[in-house]
Amino acid sequence: MTASFTDCANAIRALSMDAVEAANSGHPGMPMGMADVATVLFQEYLKFDAADPHWADRDRFVLSAGHGSMLLYSLLHLSGYARPTLEDLKTFRQIGSPCAGHPENFELPGIECTTGPLGQGLAMAVGMAVAERHLNAGFGDAVVDHRTWVIAGDGCLMEGINHEAIGLAGHLKLGRLIVLWDDNRITIDGSVSLSSSEDIPARYAATGWQVVECDGHDADSIRAAFDTAIADDRPTLVRCRTIIGKGAPNLQGTSKTHGSPLGASEIAAARETLGWNHPPFEVPADIREAWLTAGKRGAQVHADWAARLADHADRAEFERRMAGDLPAAFSLDDYIAGLLAAPQKVATRKASEMVLDAINAQLPETIGGSADLTGSNNTKTKQTGPLTADDYSGRYVYYGIREFGMAAAMNGMALHGGVIPYGGTFLVFSDYARPAIRLSALQQTRVVYVMTHDSIGLGEDGPTHQPIEHVMSLRAMPNLEVWRPCDVIETAEAWAEALATKATPSLLALTRQNLPQLREQAGNLSAKGGYRLRAAQADRKVVLLATGSEVEIAVEVRDALEAQGIGADVVSMPCWERFDAQDAAYRADLIPADALKVSIEAGTTFGWERYVGTDGLSFGIDRFGASGPAPGLYELFGLTAAAIVPQITEKLN
Amino acid sequence: MTASFTDCANAIRALSMDAVEAANSGHPGMPMGMADVATVLFQEYLKFDAADPHWADRDRFVLSAGHGSMLLYSLLHLSGYARPTLEDLKTFRQIGSPCAGHPENFELPGIECTTGPLGQGLAMAVGMAVAERHLNAGFGDAVVDHRTWVIAGDGCLMEGINHEAIGLAGHLKLGRLIVLWDDNRITIDGSVSLSSSEDIPARYAATGWQVVECDGHDADSIRAAFDTAIADDRPTLVRCRTIIGKGAPNLQGTSKTHGSPLGASEIAAARETLGWNHPPFEVPADIREAWLTAGKRGAQVHADWAARLADHADRAEFERRMAGDLPAAFSLDDYIAGLLAAPQKVATRKASEMVLDAINAQLPETIGGSADLTGSNNTKTKQTGPLTADDYSGRYVYYGIREFGMAAAMNGMALHGGVIPYGGTFLVFSDYARPAIRLSALQQTRVVYVMTHDSIGLGEDGPTHQPIEHVMSLRAMPNLEVWRPCDVIETAEAWAEALATKATPSLLALTRQNLPQLREQAGNLSAKGGYRLRAAQADRKVVLLATGSEVEIAVEVRDALEAQGIGADVVSMPCWERFDAQDAAYRADLIPADALKVSIEAGTTFGWERYVGTDGLSFGIDRFGASGPAPGLYELFGLTAAAIVPQITEKLN
């Protein structure tokens, strides 16, 4: 006996409701509602090989509605992935389980990205689809020819980032991106109509998307919609009309199935409704067989692809790029040696452009961009022509005024592999992108954020544009390296480290204003996060700690102190995360107990106690900024050597 | 001779280009492009009285495209507002000038809100329009009957928040909201077509908006569009087809006019093109007269309104609410006394709902809401029926899955006056709303953020939902009071302080899990930010500092230490900003030099050095969270008395 389509879909429903019940926590409604759509997708359309979740040319599947994680775990399990096992499913939402409450890309192969923060999965899928077309342009149909599929709910569509993501996808005509909208008309608070009256298909159509509909519980209707989606060269929204929690006879169609276990009696009733007469977590052999057969669909396709790759002229380069390795010959040493030989006074945003020119010439995998501040962020170099719907081989994305969408798309690109994305905006607008920066960090992606205009030094644009708390609040985020280089050398060093760091995103905070080249020593000293830029000549009484544009001030302060016979070190601290990772001896040598520690940074002083202690001095800005020319603002906020030196000498007395 | 319409509009162009030139910094393109539209608006449509910028029933005007600030400054100056004076205009973008780079609501009456961070002005306008309809429902047409007008650029429309804002406005049928879209087809990077292919009118129509078009340089066309906008009961997008920098003959229509001075020669050419033969900053008397006459249009309307208000039955209540004063009798003392008499163990999110019930019964001005997490944030009480398109008198907004749009709308409500908005989401999603939280703080608005599920204590949803860096990164923001209460009493105290604080937003970080009532002392001790919850009985060796759910752990640790004869205080620190504002003696009494300081907080330890110093102990979580039941997570991260006590005793030895 062969298992029917309905049997296969019901296996998802049963596993989902059973796992949520066992965990006494979770979201059964979405997996039960989208089980039929997902079954058609995984059994008939999605290109994958369960035996090799890392196959480079697999279709990407993104569960943007991440709370429905049991849908994904059920699909991976039934399709024959090595994990999750049945035992794994039984540990759903328990500590140590790979089946976490929301899908985590670092837990299980087959999870393309971490989802749960609504809207971001779909926006990451846009980046994946960009990466696919870009690599296709470089390596051809023989080795890069896959689709990106997304399941998204009403939450994903209502979030602001949806507008940014679909605008970018429509503009770039990402025809291989297909979004399956779980149109169940329910949100947590109740009916969608409580909060929205939008004609979603019309909105998508306005943004250059094809929109098709299907009955999300009718396999033929689903297939017809998928076929239409595939046939078009626009991205497609498939409106899947579904019933949330389908199969739970008393609760389906209501928000009660969304985020809580159904309960024993409703589960018993659902088993009866579904005709699923099997104990919890048990899937009959014929249904298992049907799923496993479907899971092997891709094996031959994969083998054929491997044969094509073996014969491909650029095989080694393709494999290098998909592995995320930099070319063996890549180096910025010559570039930096040139700077040491001929110092330059430029803004660090300009320094970033200069080193990017050296990087982009050596690394074909970089894809740059900016959220409509190209000339201000200095993110475009001569190697990076525009990536457009007409030419996906370009290496520069005009993201538009879409900071959040840009950041999420960069996450998707990095997760797809084969490219290294970087993108810019003003540092103050890192707030707009912050939820995606957090997902860069959580997902361990190599994304480089080029955040310019990093302090009051931007001047006249005033407090809405002047970061105060931003650098510090980003330092507080786990697994993010925040760089605030003081000159052209440190900027190059920060870029070198950012590119070498595969599992950690980097954020560069760069100045609008020019800065002198302060570094004289060779070697990547920034790599340790902090180092002695100037050593005391007189007996050391003071250690000055500073970052970025304030290192120049620290050097002036130091010179003034030395002129008074007071010895002072200057420690440049371009990356706190790196510094904190050094051993105690290294840190104690730079920040000794027996000196007055003084920090200078044009941002909040909050957090500097880590280094200056409770008896040090911190010079910074603990209020919002102001509009005016930058030099006057530095005076206003007391960030000048003239203002700082007397306070240090007074403290010493 | 009477000045022509064109003369009046050109006065804006001339002042704008002259001020930007004098400042050698700024954005002339938008003011010159929208000068005609703005002239029609201010001279013929906008209801205002330059003699009283605070008139409660004035139309609100929001320059969402805040970089075009010289448009607003020119309009206020020409229309006869006391400020900005001509001298003020000459100090544009200089330190101390009320004419800051971007419009700041705290600098000049007539600036309804701070703009510059794109998209937020329009989203705040949605909140203003909600407040207007809500107050209209309460006080009637006689005293509340005004419109909200917005000028927005392509940037405002491309940002994700635009989707959230217009979705909410369309759903709530805010027919008195009119958005004038400066459709100049230019962004900073160049043509809009570089990054967008969207049919904006179709998108707005899909969201329930009326869309009309006009030639933005033809007064009659503009008037016709405005008339159509006013006549409809939907919100209206007026597509104003304009030429950026209009009047600058060689640069108009290009991004070069956007963000830089035109330069002396182009300004000279523009003067010729415009027929503006007057020196910089000089406006001929007839043009001044025409503008001043228009500026007085509203005086009689205002007087008539004042007469109606004088006779209004609820005059005192209306004036109280518009002044933002709480009722004289408002008090939570009885409520808190009841708690002290009968302690309760509830989650602080539930404690918040309990005190909100006491608040909402006394304060008709509160408007609650949630971004689709009503049952989780516990933001709805029995007094707050839904605010809908059919009934604006409701006091609860179902914001949908729109965290950023909610926060910005709340800013708009608070700025409008007459209401006190509060709204909820999960604390981790404060990141989504963060740019608007920053504008709450910068604009000095009384907005209360109800952020629940504030740590790993939320359990199974895992790292995407567990705040780690959030509380600390919000503490780093100027003028925001972050509260993390430890029990039902502190929650009530935090609410009392949040409501009493007119010029500072408050953010409450609340638990999902139940917490015992720890407070025994009466009086609002939380108001000082930190206080001694338990005093050492043995000789004090240790001071335990904790917030929120970890205060319970600190008390357990203390009891264990005391059992070993080690004296330990427990200091609860629900609000760092308040604590830091206390005098040195108060702070030193609580955090003495001669004790080991130990912090316990289920978030990043980064920042605790401020209180524990470099030789204290900090127990927290310096990585992302994990999925699992909460008690197990507290064990996993070492946040239990059993794990902490031995580390303290070891440190003491």
Identify which of B116, B398, B473 has the shortest CB distance to residue A464: B116
Judge: A632–B95 Cβ closer than 8 Å, yes or no.
yes
User: A425, A473, A618, A623: which to substitute to probe chain B, counting the most B Cβ within 10 Å?
Assistant: A473
Identify which of A167, A195, A372 has the shortest CB distance to residue B171: A195
Scanning every residue of chain B, which has its alpha carbon at the shortest distance from the alpha carbon of A197? B171
Q: How far is A302 from chain B (nearest CA, A)?
A: 33
Judge: B628–A94 Cβ closer than 8 Å, yes or no.
yes
**Which residues in B lie closer than 8 A to residue A152 (C-beta atoms)?**
none
Identify which of B435, B462, B475 has the shortest CB distance to residue A101: B462
Q: What is the mean pLDDT of each run of 10 residues along chain B (653 residues)?
A: 91 98 97 98 98 98 98 98 98 98 97 98 98 98 98 98 98 98 94 96 98 98 98 98 97 95 98 97 98 96 98 98 98 97 97 98 98 98 98 98 98 98 98 98 98 98 98 98 98 98 98 98 97 98 98 98 98 98 98 97 98 96 98 98 98 95
User: B199, B627, B635: which to substitute to probe chain A, counting the most A Cβ within 10 Å?
Assistant: B627
Strands B210-215 and B236-241, how do they pair? Answer: parallel
Phi and psi at residue B310, in whole multiples of 5°? -60, -30
The catalytic residue positions of A are 403
Judge: B167–A158 Cβ closer than 8 Å, yes or no.
yes
Tokens of A272: 């009866």
Query: A488-500 and A348-362 are packed helices; what angle lies between their axes, rounded to 10 degrees?
Result: 40
Beta strands in A386-437, from DSSP E residues, in sequence order: 396-398, 420-426
Task: Evaluate whether B42 touches B77 at the Cβ level (below 8 Å).
Answer: no
User: A92, A460, A608: which to substitute to probe chain B, counting the most B Cβ within 10 Å?
Assistant: A460
- Per-residue pLDDT for A326 more than 70? yes
Q: Which of A41, A53, A30 is nearest to A5 (CA)?
A: A41
Judge: B442–A464 Cβ closer than 8 Å, yes or no.
yes
Residue B521 burial (CB count, 10 A): 10
Q: Decide: pTM greater than 0.90.
A: yes
* ipTM exceeding cut-off 0.95 for this assembly: yes
**Which residues in A lie closer than 8 A to residue B472 (C-beta atoms)?**
473, 476
**Which residues in A lie closer than 8 A to residue B631 (C-beta atoms)?**
none
The span from the CA of B226 to the CA of A426, in Å, is 35
| 3-state DSSP of B280-301 | CCCCCHHHHHHHHHHHCHHHHH
pLDDT (tens digit per residue) in A164-214: 999 999 999 999 999 999 999 999 999 999 999 999 999 999 999 999 999
Write the CA distances from A100 to A84, A110, A133, B468, B511, integer angstroms: 11, 14, 32, 18, 21
**Which residues in B lie closer than 8 A to residue A438 (C-beta atoms)?**
431
Q: What is the DSSP letter of B606?
A: T
Identify which of B154, B171, B438 has the shortest CB distance to residue A431: B438
Quote the pLDDT of residue B2.
Answer: 81
Q: What is the mean pLDDT of chain A?
A: 97
**Which residues in B lie closer than 8 A to residue A624 (C-beta atoms)?**
441-442, 478-479
Q: How far is A594 from chain B (nearest CA, A)?
A: 13
Average pLDDT, stretch A526-551?
98
How far, in whole angstroms, is CA B414 from its chain's centroid?
Answer: 8
**Which residues in A lie closer than 8 A to residue B465 (C-beta atoms)?**
101-102, 116
Q: How far is B116 from chain A (nearest CA, A)?
A: 6
Q: How far is B398 from chain A (nearest CA, A)?
A: 6
Q: How far is A617 from chain B (nearest CA, A)?
A: 12
Question: Positive or negative CA dihedral for B331, B335, B340, B341?
Answer: positive
Scanning every residue of chain B, which has its alpha carbon at the shortest distance from the alpha carbon of A476? B469
| 3-state DSSP of B575-601 | CHHHHHCCCHHHHHHHCCCCCEEEEEC
Judge: B188–A376 Cβ closer than 8 Å, yes or no.
yes
Quote the pLDDT of residue A343.
Answer: 97
Judge: A463–B104 Cβ closer than 8 Å, yes or no.
yes
**Which residues in B lie closer than 8 A to residue A373 (C-beta atoms)?**
188-189
Identify which of A187, A435, A472 has the shortest CB distance to residue B431: A435
Strands A190-191 and A186-187, how do they pair? Answer: antiparallel
Judge: A196–B374 Cβ closer than 8 Å, yes or no.
no
User: A379, A606, A615: which to substitute to probe chain B, counting the most B Cβ within 10 Å?
Assistant: A606
Strand partners, B598: B544, B617
**Which residues in A lie closer than 8 A to residue B609 (C-beta atoms)?**
607, 609-610, 613-614
pLDDT interval class at A2 (50, 70, 90): confident
The span from the CA of A523 to the CA of A527, in Å, is 9
Identify which of A207, A373, A442 has the shortest CB distance to residue B624: A442
**Which residues in A lie closer than 8 A to residue B171 (C-beta atoms)?**
195-198
The span from the CA of B551 to the CA of B59, in Å, is 48
User: B20, B191, B401: which to substitute to probe chain A, counting the most A Cβ within 10 Å?
Assistant: B401
Task: Evaluate whether B352 touches B328 at the Cβ level (below 8 Å).
Answer: no
Quote the pLDDT of residue B1.
Answer: 59
Scanning every residue of chain B, which has its alpha carbon at the shortest distance from the alpha carbon of A118? B401
The catalytic residue positions of B are 403
Task: Evaluate whether B369 touches B398 at the Cβ level (below 8 Å).
Answer: yes
Cβ-Cβ contacts under 8 Å between A and B: the total is 341
Identify which of B429, B469, B633 has the shortest CB distance to residue A478: B469
Quote the pLDDT of residue A1.
Answer: 59
